[in-house]
Chains A and B, each alone.
Chain A
Amino acid sequence: MSLVWKLLRRHISVAQLAGFFFANLLGMLIVLTGYQFYRDVLPVFTKGDSFMSAEYMILSKKINAGSSLSGRSGTFSGEDIEDLEAQKFVRAVGMFTMAGYNVTARMGINGVPVLSSEMFFESVPDKFVDTPVDRWEWKEGMDEVPVILPRSYMAMYNFGFARIHSLPKLSEGIVGMIDFQIIVSGNGKRDAYKGKVIGFSNRLNSILVPQQFMDWSNSVYSSSGDVEPSRVIVEVGNPADGAISGYMENKGYDVENGNLDTGKTMYFLRMTVSMVMCIGLVISCLSFYMLMLSIYLLVQKNETKLENLLLIGYSPVQVALPYQLLTLLLNMTVFVIVCVLLLAVRGYYMDIIGMLYPDIDEGSVLPSFILGFCLLCLVTLFNFVAIREKIMNVWSRNGAVD
């Protein structure tokens, strides 16, 4: 062991260093976990719907007691559509077509029945569905009907059913595992079709089928004629256009726009994470001061020794080194432990996120590690400079008194 270290370790307070260690550990863990969590959760909100781009807005008419009593229909008339199409911000308008017949669907995973219920089909013009034509195509005579399910079905299944029955979790990549049987009845007919699940959408509350199938099936199974649509899908140039909200307000239309909620959620998420990270940073800063105070105290208590070392020829660099290495060691240990803890914490919450959004990107912890490493370097650098300054104080002060 170095003789210098043997001298300078005197008066090191284990309690003070332990205090710094745990405070810094906590601070850094909070900062890095906040950052990592933000990065991990962000895609949940920003991830686009793979079937409907953000430029599409789904409109419906406001339904309230007044309109119900007055008998005003909640459907879009021909004039409404024309007016809408005439707006500058609108690129294209498509109407939702509803099935005028009964649908019963049975969903199973790997042969295990999961859901069996009366359901409801809707369709929009095919150009509003962003999926390759060959997957979203239906022609008369085909037994297999492509369908897009609401994402909530998947969450319901993954969170509830799959857990209880030890079944594999669904993700968009493995939708092929779903058996989806459709029984369509109406107009005195009853037929079975096989549903082919193409994927899941956040923006639908009903089951989407290709327009051709809808048109054909309505003509075959529905006894009622054409009905006015209660919802329309609109492609707009810029969803943030101020004119849009004004028009909607004026007309009394509701926009079923997930993006709006996403925006708010993102704002709150960002705010919460920032606050948490700030708290972490404050704790880290306090722990930094704690370490500096502890080292200052140490330098003060060992001042005579430091002065003597300098006078017999040790350079300030050599004398500062043991204390600098001590802080480096402490900071490195904190960093390593924080990384391990971060992985553990992340593993825990990623399980939950994975259940809700199985197809979410796994992401990487590397940016957090890099951030942590940068913090480590920064803090260590400050420590080094502060210790060096303190030693230089001893160097230049040692001549002041005789």
Chain B
Amino acid sequence: MEKIVFESVLPEVFSGSDNIHSEIWRQRVCFQRGHLYLVEAESGKGKSTFCSYVTGYRHDYSGRILFDDVDVRSYKTGDWTNCRISHISHLFQELRLFPELTAYENVDIKNRLTGFKTRKEIERWFELLGIADKINVKVGMMSFGQQQRVAMIRALAQPFDFLLADEPISHLDEENSIQMGDIMMAEATRQGAGVIVTSIGRHIGLNYEKVIRL
């Protein structure tokens, strides 16, 4: 997938209000593969909504979203599933980890689906993010910051054309934020993928090519 285009998209919840000043809603926005974007928003502007439209788990909008010129409204279940395992990786704001599984199992449950990374590579990420000692600990026992790092590793354990990172560092300190940014960008660059980071304030310090205000 080379590009994601939002064409006059407006969430149904906003359809009643005329007072929309956004660089995405009701606009034409194009996200290109291989580029780095920051989507900044205040709370309640529809940041998670934006992410859920891209990953196809919400469709309550007017306008068109195009993946390589194909309207995603024509996507069937199988297309979305394929999209989620091969084209668009999503680091969820609410993480969506499984607390009853260990940190490694949480990554593995995705990696088994994609068969993309070796156990060694995954363990290496755990080391780089400073949670190697937590690899066999149940996620439910970990802090949110630690969980955020596990979720990032899981998001990287798949091939993708776009990585959608929804507030990836909300609970991380500076050092870990930088580390996380490095790993994320290294993998995205390796895959030649586009990265869309969202933030409501503090964001990873990266060389964003375009900052879009939602």
Contacts and interface: CB of A to CB of B under 8 A. Distances in A.
Contact of B81 (A6, A305, A313, A399): A313
Nearest to B57: A399
A133 B101 CA distance: 86
Interface string B50-65: 0010010111100000
Contact of B58 (A7, A305, A307, A402): A402
Given A7-B101, A308-B98, A311-B92, A402 B49 contact: yes
A60 to B, nearest CB: 78
B112 A3 contact: yes
Interface string B99-113: 011000100111011
Interface in B6-64: 48-49, 52, 55, 57-60
Contacts of B149: none
In the A-B complex, list the 7 residue pairs whose CB atoms are closest, starting with the nearest: A399-B58, A313-B85, A313-B84, A399-B57, A315-B81, A308-B96, A3-B109
13 contacts: A3-B112, A311-B96, A313-B81, A313-B85, A314-B81, A315-B77, A315-B78, A316-B81, A395-B77, A398-B57, A399-B57, A399-B60, A402-B49
B113 A313 contact: yes
B57 A305 contact: no
Interface string B136-151: 0000000000000000
A311 B90 contact: yes
Contacts of B84: 311-313
Contacts of A292: none
B59 A312 contact: no
Interface in A1-57: 3-4, 6-7, 10
A313 B110 CA distance: 8
Nearest to A305: B98
Contacts of B158: 313
Interface of A: 3-4, 6-7, 10, 305, 307-316, 392, 395, 398-400, 402
Interface of B: 48-49, 52, 55, 57-60, 77-78, 81, 84-85, 90, 92, 96-98, 100-101, 105, 108-110, 112-114, 154, 158
Contacts of A308: 96-98
Nearest to B86: A313
A305 B139 CA distance: 14
Nearest to A7: B98
A399 B154 contact: no
Specify which of A7, A313, A398 lies most central, judged by the most chain B CB atoms within 10 Å of its CB. A313
A237 to B, nearest CB: 67
Given A313-B84, A315-B81, A399-B58, 16 more contacts: A7-B101, A305-B98, A307-B96, A308-B98, A311-B57, A311-B96, A312-B109, A312-B113, A313-B113, A313-B114, A313-B158, A315-B77, A315-B78, A398-B57, A399-B52, A399-B59
Given A313-B85, A398-B57, A3 B96 contact: no
A204 to B, nearest CB: 73
A3 B98 CA distance: 10
A321 to B, nearest CB: 13
A395 B100 CA distance: 22
A311 B81 CA distance: 8
Contacts of A402: 48-49, 52, 58
Contacts of A395: 77
A4 B55 contact: no
Nearest to A2: B112
B113 A314 contact: yes
Contacts of B154: 312
| B57, B78, B92: most-surrounded residue (chain A CB, <10 A) | B57
B96 A312 contact: yes
Nearest to B97: A308
B178 to A, nearest CB: 26
Contacts of B113: 312-314
Contacts of B81: 313-316
Nearest to B151: A312
Nearest to A401: B58
B77 to A, nearest CB: 6
Contacts of A316: 77, 81
A11 to B, nearest CB: 11
A310 B108 CA distance: 15
